[in-house]
């Protein structure tokens, strides 16, 4: 495998016929003769653009010949030095290792200030050595640099795939050869390419080590990632954070244990409750009327409050061991709300054995002081005395991991060490015995990419782009004046340039942009890289305006204009600024939103602005975009849906059975399908999750209350009136009977409760 990393030469004379040009070209030819690729340019150009080049280069050679240094007038020399310094700084901001050489004929290091000199790998005087000699020296350094790049597992995998040995182990496609025997297989092979298939190997390959027992290069990579993420232990997981969460839980929770859980947690935590047979008590997050989930207030976390909840729960009351085994909270909600972990540690250390932060959306936080204390595990953070800290992170959501790449980070306490062998029993229970090696390699590479200084720079860049997007949205809003425009949810104060201060993003009780009420000081923060965009029609207090634009129409419109949105609420949707963000991407979103406004204001017919959607839903063909928005808006308004959804999530959920017992009724077929009209008071056997927002509403063993039934009836009527805009509720069974769509829920049979 030959990687392409050219040596970049920047010299004004690179194409000139003077002696300086001849000299540098002779060097370039000598390096090419040794097989190196050379990229010669004549100016520093746009610095930010060149900063990108550092990731593609193997070395830089920067000329400081007389011409560049302006022939000598002090001002000109000063100017030349300033741009040289800026360039070197720009490279070193992201990359502390790449070799940088200065090249000069008459000038020597005497002319270069120390702060530049100390960043260099050498100073080349062309006519004192042969070009061949200098070339070999530079190439040696460039190769040493490249050789040092690959982290342990990726390095071993590349070597193995290059090796070309025949093997008899699975997978059965034998490095891709099986695909070549059929036409469709050929297509598959050509699409994914030889390397992906050669690197798809089985865990019988000894030199790559084992994920399942953490040996060899895999173990070296996990240790490397643990160091980079400031953790005591790191476990790579190839089935997503859904699986990481189950591993953490199964390592510490057993049937009958009391567990304390964020009511708006990810469904994998609820699956964990069901699988372990735990008795959950829930902490209730705040919620504003835009449907945005806020933080769990500090007061919910006090042991007195947790004790009150235990006493109020018939199953917890009867539990043998009253001390909660684990606390799990969503650290970065969908909308980007995060908690001060140091505050939580102070409150709960020693009172709950394991503090688990589901940081699926927060793997970047440890790399920037912007998030100091607002994530589970990081540099300059004290150990807890008793409680073990776990963080589970989806490498694939915000860093450069392939889908399903995830990791578990562990921070031990002063008095409790992790028993790795014991933990691994839970790890094995949830890991395939045939892990996907490309995913392991991406865990390895994603971690290595975050090594300082590059990782800090990447996080800073995504914060910067996120703020620039917000600034751009504000500018458009100001230009429209009285006319409507989309708002980005967040603090009123936005710094004018750069990334400002984390203080700007602390959620304060006295601010009224959030609608979460009286929060404790310095306890919560909004992560600016998540941007929730608010469409007109609903106020923070839950009042509907006369006209409105439901977010589901906007996101459908954006999809047909090539912008795919991850999550959508009634009058809000959100976008993320991952380390993969580009200016092109968010500017495309901006122009698409402008187009939407234009089409909306002109009430353009649907067939024209959403042709694909209308092809599937012809009933909307001739209606105007604005008219359709208004119809749906009025349907929401008539049912006061904003209030309904807020209230249903905040309503009291009565547990009638332990979640695992209710789920067991499914396995034993002791359930019946109950029409949603008859649900009130019934015990659900399944997990009920409305989309939006994709947060589970009812858990196996809980009873349906009137608010939830009202919501389900609304969803049925709404879906009937507006097909294509369906409110999707996972857990509902739909049956078309006599031409009518009916909705059911699998409930525990009445005689089995």
Ligand X SMILES: *Cc1c(COP(=O)(O)O)cnc(C)c1O
What is the residue whose two structure tokens read 């890991």?
431
> Nearest distance from residue 420's CB to ligand X, in Å?
23
> Nearest distance from residue 34's CB to ligand X, in Å?
45
Contact 174, 183 (CB under 8 A): no
**Taking CB under 6 A as the rule, does residue 358 contact ligand X?**
yes
State which residue, 63 or 268, has the beta carbon closest to ligand X: 268
Residues 388-427 that bind ligand X (CB under 6 A): 394, 406
**Taking CB under 6 A as the rule, does residue 242 contact ligand X?**
yes
State which residue, 361 or 489, has the beta carbon closest to ligand X: 361
Stretch that binds ligand X, among 85-93, 239-247, 319-327, 732-740 (CB under 6 A): 239-247
Q: What Rg value do the Cα atoms of the chain yield, rounded?
A: 30
> Nearest distance from residue 406's CB to ligand X, in Å?
5
> Nearest distance from residue 266's CB to ligand X, in Å?
3
What is the residue whose two structure tokens read 């067991």?
664
> Nearest distance from residue 584's CB to ligand X, in Å?
26
Among 240, 324, 378, 701, binds ligand X (CB under 6 A): 240
Contact 245, 234 (CB under 8 A): no
State which residue, 58 or 241, has the beta carbon closest to ligand X: 241
Tokens coding 685: 């056997």
Tokens coding 700: 């196996």
State which residue, 7 or 296, has the beta carbon closest to ligand X: 296
Stretch that binds ligand X, among 101-109, 238-246, 256-264, 343-351 (CB under 6 A): 238-246
Stretch that binds ligand X, among 25-33, 240-248, 281-289, 576-584 (CB under 6 A): 240-248
Stretch that binds ligand X, among 61-69, 72-80, 199-207, 356-364 (CB under 6 A): 356-364
State which residue, 13 or 359, has the beta carbon closest to ligand X: 359
State which residue, 361 or 649, has the beta carbon closest to ligand X: 361
State which residue, 138 or 450, has the beta carbon closest to ligand X: 450
> Nearest distance from residue 717's CB to ligand X, in Å?
30
Stretch that binds ligand X, among 132-140, 234-242, 478-486, 550-558 (CB under 6 A): 234-242
> Nearest distance from residue 261's CB to ligand X, in Å?
12
Tokens coding 334: 């969908």
Distance CA 116, CA 98 (A): 14
> Nearest distance from residue 560's CB to ligand X, in Å?
26
Q: Which residues of 400-437 are buried (b: 16+ CB within 10 A; e: fewer)?
A: bbbebbbbbbbbbbeebebeeeebbebbeebbeeebbb
What is the residue whose two structure tokens read 């104060």?
493
Tokens coding 26: 């002779």
> Nearest distance from residue 384's CB to ligand X, in Å?
22
> Nearest distance from residue 393's CB to ligand X, in Å?
9
State which residue, 150 or 259, has the beta carbon closest to ligand X: 259
Number of residues that bind ligand X (CB under 6 A): 11
Stretch that binds ligand X, among 8-16, 171-179, 355-363, 663-671 (CB under 6 A): 355-363
| Other beta carbons less than 10 A from residue 341's beta carbon | 24
State which residue, 480 or 691, has the beta carbon closest to ligand X: 691
State which residue, 282 or 315, has the beta carbon closest to ligand X: 282
Stretch that binds ligand X, among 166-174, 347-355, 357-365, 547-555 (CB under 6 A): 357-365
> Nearest distance from residue 241's CB to ligand X, in Å?
3
Contact 365, 377 (CB under 8 A): no
State which residue, 402 or 590, has the beta carbon closest to ligand X: 402
Beta-bridge partners for 684: 747
Backbone angles phi, psi at 4, to 5 degrees: -105, 105
Distance CA 691, CA 679 (A): 20
Contacts of 659 (CB under 8 A, 6+ apart): 270, 273, 274, 278, 280, 699, 700, 701
> SS3 for 261?
strand
What is the residue whose two structure tokens read 């857990």?
731
> Nearest distance from residue 267's CB to ligand X, in Å?
8
Distance CA 63, CA 59 (A): 13
CA-based nearest residue to 731, from 711, 707, 706, 751: 711
> Nearest distance from residue 345's CB to ligand X, in Å?
20
Tokens coding 97: 């290792």
String marking each residue 300-339 x if it binds ligand X according to CB under 6 A = ------------------------------x---------
State which residue, 248 or 703, has the beta carbon closest to ligand X: 248
Determine the angle formed by the axes of helices 267-276 and 659-667, rounding to 10 degrees.
Answer: 80
Stretch that binds ligand X, among 236-244, 273-281, 293-301, 525-533 (CB under 6 A): 236-244
Tokens coding 200: 């798809």
Distance CA 153, CA 473 (A): 43
> Nearest distance from residue 370's CB to ligand X, in Å?
20
Q: Running DSSP on this structure, what letter comes out for residue 199? A: T
State which residue, 224 or 268, has the beta carbon closest to ligand X: 268
Contact 290, 515 (CB under 8 A): yes
State which residue, 394 or 645, has the beta carbon closest to ligand X: 394
- DSSP per residue over 74-131, as a string? HHHHHHHHHHHHHHHHHHHHH-SSS-EEEEESS--GGGS-HHHHTT-SEEEEGGGS-H
Q: Cβ-closest residue to ligand X?
A: 240
Tokens coding 101: 């050489």
State which residue, 205 or 402, has the beta carbon closest to ligand X: 402
Name the helix (H) or strand (E) containing 478: helix 454-480
Distance CA 375, CA 342 (A): 9
State which residue, 268 or 689, has the beta carbon closest to ligand X: 268
Q: Strands, DSSP E only, in 346-482?
A: 354-358, 388-393, 406-411
Stretch that binds ligand X, among 114-122, 235-243, 565-573, 612-620 (CB under 6 A): 235-243
Distance CA 506, CA 337 (A): 10
Residues 251-280 that bind ligand X (CB under 6 A): 266, 268
> SS3 for 614?
helix
Stretch that binds ligand X, among 358-366, 572-580, 635-643, 666-674 (CB under 6 A): 358-366
- Residue ranges in contact with ligand X by CB under 6 A: 240-242, 266, 268, 330, 358, 360-361, 394, 406
């Amino acid at each position: 495998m030959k990687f392409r990393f050219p040596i970049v030469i920047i010299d004004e004379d690179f194409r000139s016929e003077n002696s300086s040009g001849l000299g540098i070209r002779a060097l370039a030819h000598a390096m090419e003769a040794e097989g190196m690729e050379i990229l010669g340019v004549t100016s520093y150009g746009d610095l930010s653009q060149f900063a990108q080049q550092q990731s593609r280069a193997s070395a830089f050679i920067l000329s400081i010949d007389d011409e560049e240094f302006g022939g000598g007038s002090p001002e000109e020399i000063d100017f030349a030095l300033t741009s040289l310094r800026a360039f070197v700084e720009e490279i070193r901001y992201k990359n502390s290792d790449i070799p940088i050489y200065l090249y000069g004929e008459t000038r020597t290091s005497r002319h270069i200030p120390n702060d530049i000199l100390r960043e260099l790998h050498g100073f080349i005087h062309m006519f004192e050595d042969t070009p061949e000699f200098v070339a070999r020296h530079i190439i040696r350094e460039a190769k040493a640099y490249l050789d040092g790049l690959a982290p342990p597992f990726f390095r071993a995998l590349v070597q193995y795939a290059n090796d070309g040995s025949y093997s008899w182990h699975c997978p059965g496609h034998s490095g891709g050869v099986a695909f070549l025997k059929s036409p469709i297989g050929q297509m598959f092979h050509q699409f994914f390419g030889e390397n992906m298939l050669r690197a798809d190997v089985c865990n019988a390959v000894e030199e790559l080590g084992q994920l399942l027992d953490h040996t060899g290069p895999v173990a070296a990579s996990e240790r490397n990632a643990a160091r980079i993420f400031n953790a005591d232990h790191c476990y790579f997981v190839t089935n997503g954070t859904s699986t990481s969460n189950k591993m953490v839980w199964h390592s510490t929770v057993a049937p009958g244990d009391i567990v304390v859980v964020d009511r708006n947690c990810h469904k994998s935590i609820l699956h964990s409750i069901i699988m372990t047979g735990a008795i959950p008590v829930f902490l209730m997050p705040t919620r504003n009327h835009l449907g945005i989930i806020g933080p769990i207030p500090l007061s919910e976390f006090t042991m007195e409050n947790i004790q009150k909840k235990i006493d109020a729960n018939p199953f917890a009351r009867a539990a043998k061991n009253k001390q909660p085994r684990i606390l799990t909270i969503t650290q970065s909600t969908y909308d980007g709300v995060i908690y001060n972990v140091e505050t939580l540690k102070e409150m709960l250390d020693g009172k709950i054995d394991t503090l688990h932060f589901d940081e699926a959306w927060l793997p970047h936080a440890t790399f920037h002081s912007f998030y100091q204390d607002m994530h589970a595990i990081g540099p300059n953070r004290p150990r807890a005395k008793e409680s073990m800290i776990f963080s589970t992170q989806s490498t694939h959501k915000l860093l450069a991991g392939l889908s399903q790449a995830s990791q578990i980070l562990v921070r031990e306490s002063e008095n409790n060490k992790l028993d790795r062998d014991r933990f691994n029993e839970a790890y094995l229970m949830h890991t395939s015995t045939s892990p996907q090696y490309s995913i392991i390699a991406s865990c390895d590479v994603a971690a290595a990419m975050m090594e300082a200084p590059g990782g800090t720079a990447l996080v800073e860049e995504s914060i910067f782009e996120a703020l620039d997007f917000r600034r751009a949205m504000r500018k458009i809003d100001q230009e429209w004046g009285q006319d409507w425009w989309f708002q980005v949810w967040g603090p009123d104060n936005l710094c004018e340039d750069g990334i400002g201060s984390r203080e700007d993003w602390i959620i304060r009780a006295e601010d009224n942009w959030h609608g979460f009420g009286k929060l404790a000081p310095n306890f919560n923060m909004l992560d600016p890289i998540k941007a929730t965009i608010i469409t007109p029609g609903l106020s923070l207090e839950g009042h509907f305006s006369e006209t409105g634009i439901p977010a589901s129409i906007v996101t459908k419109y954006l999809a047909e204009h090539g912008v795919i949105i991850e999550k959508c609420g009634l009058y809000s949707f959100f976008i993320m600024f991952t380390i993969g963000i580009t200016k092109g991407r968010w500017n495309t979103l901006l122009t698409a939103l402008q187009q939407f406004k234009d089409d909306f204001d002109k009430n353009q017919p649907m067939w024209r602005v959403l042709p694909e959607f209308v092809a599937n839903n012809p009933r909307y063909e001739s209606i105007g975009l604005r008219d359709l928005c208004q119809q749906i808006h009025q349907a929401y308004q008539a049912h006061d849906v904003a209030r309904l959804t807020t209230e249903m999530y905040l309503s009291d959920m009565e547990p009638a059975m332990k979640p695992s017992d209710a789920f067991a009724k499914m396995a034993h077929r002791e359930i019946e399908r109950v029409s949603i009209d008859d649900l009130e008071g019934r015990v659900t056997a399944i997990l009920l999750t409305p989309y939006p927002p994709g947060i589970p509403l009812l858990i196996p063993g809980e009873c349906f209350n009137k608010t939830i039934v009202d919501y389900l009836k609304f969803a049925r009527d709404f879906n009937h009136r507006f097909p294509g805009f369906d409110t999707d509720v996972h857990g509902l069974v739909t049956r078309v009977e006599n031409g009518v769509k009916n909705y059911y829920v699998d409930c525990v049979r009445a005689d089995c409760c």
